[in-house]
Structure 1
Amino acid sequence: MSTDRVIHKAAALAAATVAMGGLVLGTAGPAAAYDNDGRIESGEFGFYYNSDEKGCVFDVYVYDNNFADNSFKDPSSINCAGEGQSTNDNTASYWNRWTGYCYVWTDSYRGGIRGSLPGGYTGNASATFKNQISSTADTV
């Protein structure tokens, strides 16, 4: 095989490798499992610091196994109640803007008592879950 042909094949292989790497990177899912910008958008599950969907928000996309490293955000810059407070064991109400069920647990990593909320549900946490939620997921 000539040197030019070997170089051509090596260049083609390198180009294919780069293209595949770009394809893999382009199809990868989101880097984080949550958005947490304080705005509950379609496809997210939102946790409110206070009852009746009041106060600051923690918004999750898909799941979060441990609320201890998250905090409530103020989407409107009006200094809402709970801003900067840990999300762990501080949720009083929620809104499921995902189409399917969202599951919550009273302990991190899907431990403790499990609850389920259907798509579109909004309301106050029950006595079992109020200020007790520590993790969430969209599948069991």
Structure 2
Amino acid sequence: MSRSLPRRLGSMAAVAAATAGLLITTAVGAAADSKNGVLETNEFGLYYNSGQLGCVFDVYDHDENFTNDKFKGSCSGSGQSTNDNTASYWNRDSVFDYYVYTDANYRGSWGTIPGGYKGNASSTFKNKISSTNS
């Protein structure tokens, strides 16, 4: 299940109340930070290597198809496709679970990564993840 619109609007309202006038900047910034190769709070990260090592593919909310996604940075795995090429993960969202799928468009085998959890992908998912959703 995708994050609900009320949660996002509630989050934006809280930010706007705390930093008057920055609602639009905050909304644009959240979208721009996703997939930048830096795992930030409220994002889900898939790592090139086990133990949360190597490059990280960071996503906020969902990505239905990793085919055109690549690991970024000057780290192990840089420039490699994210699709079917991840060995570990970290859910930096403390509230929402993330779901990973072995096929694009949320198909195939799926698993749940609880909020705040990190670990190595099981044999079912290691180097087989192709989409994710929160």
TM tier relative to shorter chain: 0.7 to 0.9
**Aligned residue in 2 for 1:95:** 90
Question: Retained in 2: the 8 A contact 1:33–1:60?
Answer: no
Aligned equivalents of 1:112 and 1:58: distance in 2? Answer: 20
Aligned equivalents of 2:64 and 2:32: distance in 1? Answer: 9
How big is the alpha-carbon RMSD for the aligned residues of Structure 1 and Structure 2? 2.2
Aligned equivalents of 1:33 and 1:124: distance in 2? Answer: 27
State TM-score, norm by structure 1: 0.72
Pick aligned residue for 1:134 from 122, 127, 130: 130
Question: How far apart are 1:137 and its partner, in Å?
Answer: 0.4
Aligned equivalents of 2:110 and 2:33: distance in 1? Answer: 20
Aligned equivalents of 1:116 and 1:88: distance in 2? Answer: 18
Runs (4+) off by over 4 Å: 29-34
Q: Percent identity?
A: 58
Aligned positions of 1:1-140 closer than 5 A: 26=24, 32=31, 35-74=34-73, 79-99=74-94, 100-138=96-134
Structure 1 unaligned regions, length at least 5: 1-25
Structure 2 unaligned regions, length at least 5: 1-23
Partner amino acid for 1:95?
Answer: W
- Between Structure 1 and Structure 2, whose CA radius of gyration is higher? 1
- The Cα offsets for residues 78-104 of structure 1, whole Å up to 9 and x where unpaired, read as x31100100000000000001221000
